[in-house]
Amino acid sequence: MKKRFQVLRIIATIFRVLGIVIAAFALVAALVTLVMAMAGGQVWKLVGMDANTGFFSGLVAAFLEILVGALYALILYGYGELISLLLALEENTHNTVLLLEKSAK
């Protein structure tokens, strides 16, 4: 039997892949920010902060990058799973209708 709604299946896969990619980028960005925070404050002097303020700002920024990136990745992955769930629901409903029509004959 031919699968229906191929475009929605592709969109669901794209959302899932984007969720994973965003999670990876958020983790890498947080690690880079953390390394910059640990760099002794030299990077933060370029933006006008002293070493202590730069260190704590870097820690807060790294935490927020992980938090926001994980939330965004979870939302994207969830959208992909929701589309897949709705497609499976439609497929099961369609199969039930076909079975009921077949048994009614």
pLDDT tens digits, 15-51:
999 999 999 999 999 999 888 888 766 777 777 878 7
Range of the domain at 77: 6-104
Does some domain include residue 23?
yes
Domain count, the chain: 1
Does some domain include residue 1?
no
Does some domain include residue 45?
yes
Does some domain include residue 11?
yes
DSSP structural state of residue 102? H
Does some domain include residue 16?
yes
Whole-prediction pTM value? Answer: 0.81
Does some domain include residue 85?
yes
pLDDT at 1 over 70: no
Nearest to 58 by CA among 38, 31, 44, 37: 37
Q: Which amino acid is at 39?
A: A
Kindly report the average pLDDT of the chain as a whole number. 91
